[in-house]
Chain A
Amino acid sequence: MLQVRDLHAYYGQSHILHGINLDVKEGEIVSLLGRNGVGRSTTCKAIMGLVPPRGSISFRGRELAGLRSDLVARAGIGYVPEDRQVFPTLSVRQNLELGLKRAGKFGRWTFDDVFRLFPNLAARQNNPAGVLSGGEQQMLTMCRALMGDPDLILIDEPTEGLAPLLVEQVGVLLAEIASRGVSILLVEQKLTIALKISRRLYVMGHGQIVFEGTPDDLAANVQVRQEWLEV
């Protein structure tokens, strides 16, 4: 469904991505792992058109490289940034409304789904999103992206800085997303939930993919883990 080929990206003069190749197939959960600063977030941003990409990004046969981000989103890709970016002055409900691509146009996800999964958000639907806790903001950002009914969702470090109980909630939501036939590209640093739920994993180092395989392959490959993941 998503095929990234020889993707390069730059911030000004500095060359960040050096020819990334990766695939996500229909209904798959794929993880992109790596240490801080290797370019995982930049990969997501390049796919979304938030950083100008060079190379090819094809989604269901359609070339997305060079398109404006709203068109990438409308092609069916959802995005959850690592810094969450909730709209702080707007209410929880308004944040979710902004996820809809057109007013009242619901797809797989409705307000009721979100509020059933996260009673906390339901209770605070009229409060400004800026006053939510970090964990609640994380759930809100993911649900906001889901309201747009994407077929593939890019989720950048959803568990970063969350307490174990909340990490578990993220895991529950990821499972729910997958069960509705939405493909996931999950960016993580630690292996914990990635190993449990992914079908395939990529490991990045210095702007390149250095490993590709199943969770079992990675578990068996001590060398990759030591060189590119463990601190």
Chain B
Amino acid sequence: METLLISVLNGLVYGMLLFMLASGLTLIFSMMGVLNFAHASIYMLGAYLAFTISQFVGFFPALIIAPILCGLIGAAIEIWGLRRAHQNGHIAELLFTFGLVFIIQRVVQMTWGMLPMPYRVPPSLDFPLFVLYGSNFPAYRGFMLLISAAMLLSTWLLLKKTRVGLIIQAALTHPHMVSALGHNVPRVFTTVFAGGCLLAGLAGVIGGNYQTTEPGMADSMGPIVFVVVVFGGLGSLAGCFVASIVMGMIQTFAVVIDYSVADVLRPLGLAISGDTLLTEVLTVPVARIGALLPFVMMVTILFFRPRGLMGTRDT
């Protein structure tokens, strides 16, 4: 029971972190039609920038400065890169963001090296928030929850309660019409792209010391975020939110579940024995295939419901 509660909280922390990344990605995709491969690279950049900045001015200023830098980098990418690549069609755009992944990775490796950074939780947040039957829940994770909830709320308010938000929502379905009504759609695109990068950067700042800040962190985060976006459904922030939380839970629980499919079938009277490939597969504990689970889910949902959970259009 105690592990269950702690695991739910951990799943929530991870799910909210995923949502911070996935929400930007899904907004950018549904609005601009760009599948931004470099989104997780910005996440990585956010972590590295936060590490370096926090060495000079401390963690809390870095929490603000690093995401803003990421937002500015995003704006620059959109204005001087994407906008030009866009004129050459979707493939050019896709390849452009793909190229960015490698460029950012190289830059990170050249600047900070190959080894993990000693980017740590700030001492002021480095204590157990509460202890339940011997397992503790670190205060930093509580802080992560707080930050991501605040981010969620302000993004929602921005989208639903401001005029810019209204224009963004309209441009999700009919960008050309929005333009023909006299709104500067390229500027809206830049805003959304920069905003998405800011969120990704913020996720990097609070995720970099929760996980590890190292040159492979974009590669390990990227695919999961894509799965979340596809699973939640393109163009749906609500679907994206549900998918993020579900994925956070799955990822957290998969490592603590030490059962296999065969263990579940046994009480039903289905004993499995022998030495076939099927038995092999069925007796693998979930913990060992945990990393595979998200992708299996994505393929399954694409098979049965190509719009994703709550998507408004086909993938």
Contacts and interface: CB of A to CB of B under 8 A. Distances in A.
Interface of A: 48, 50, 68-70, 72-74, 79, 81, 85, 87-90, 94, 97-99, 101, 103, 144-145, 148
B167 interface: yes
B182 A85 contact: no
B183 interface: yes
Contact of B179 (A69, A87, A101, A145): A69
Contact of A98 (B167, B185, B186): B167
Contacts of B242: none
Contact of A90 (B166, B182, B183, B186): B166
A85 B311 CA distance: 19
B169 A73 contact: no
B170 interface: yes
Q: Report which residue of B166, B180, B184 has the largest number of chain A beta carbons within 10 angstroms of its beta carbon.
A: B180
A87 B181 contact: no
B239 to A, nearest CB: 13
Contacts of A94: 166
A159 B180 CA distance: 21
Given A70-B183, A101-B181, A148-B182, 11 more contacts: A50-B179, A68-B179, A79-B181, A87-B170, A89-B169, A90-B170, A97-B166, A98-B166, A98-B170, A98-B178, A98-B181
Nearest to B188: A70
B141 to A, nearest CB: 34
Interface residues of B, number: 19
B177 interface: yes
B185 to A, nearest CB: 7
B288 interface: no
B174 interface: yes
Contacts of B176: 50, 69, 85
A182 B108 CA distance: 58
B315 interface: no
Contact of A50 (B173, B180, B182): B180
A103 B39 CA distance: 33
Given A90-B166, A94-B166, A98-B167, A70 B182 contact: yes
Interface string B159-198: 0000100110110111011111111111000000000000
B166 A73 contact: no
Contacts of A68: 179, 184, 186
10 contacts: A68-B186, A70-B179, A70-B184, A74-B182, A85-B174, A87-B173, A98-B167, A98-B170, A101-B181, A103-B163
Contact of A70 (B173, B174, B185): B185
Contacts of B183: 70, 98, 101
Nearest to B173: A87
Contacts of A88: 173
Q: Nearest 5 pairs between A and B by C-beta?
A: A73-B182, A85-B177, A69-B179, A101-B182, A87-B170
Contacts of A74: 182
B177 A81 contact: yes
A148 B178 CA distance: 12
A90 B176 CA distance: 16
Nearest to A130: B173
Contacts of A101: 181-183
Contact of B181 (A73, A89, A103): A73
Contact of B174 (A72, A73, A87): A87
B167 to A, nearest CB: 7
Contacts of B185: 70
Interface in B107-146: none
B313 to A, nearest CB: 12
B84 to A, nearest CB: 16
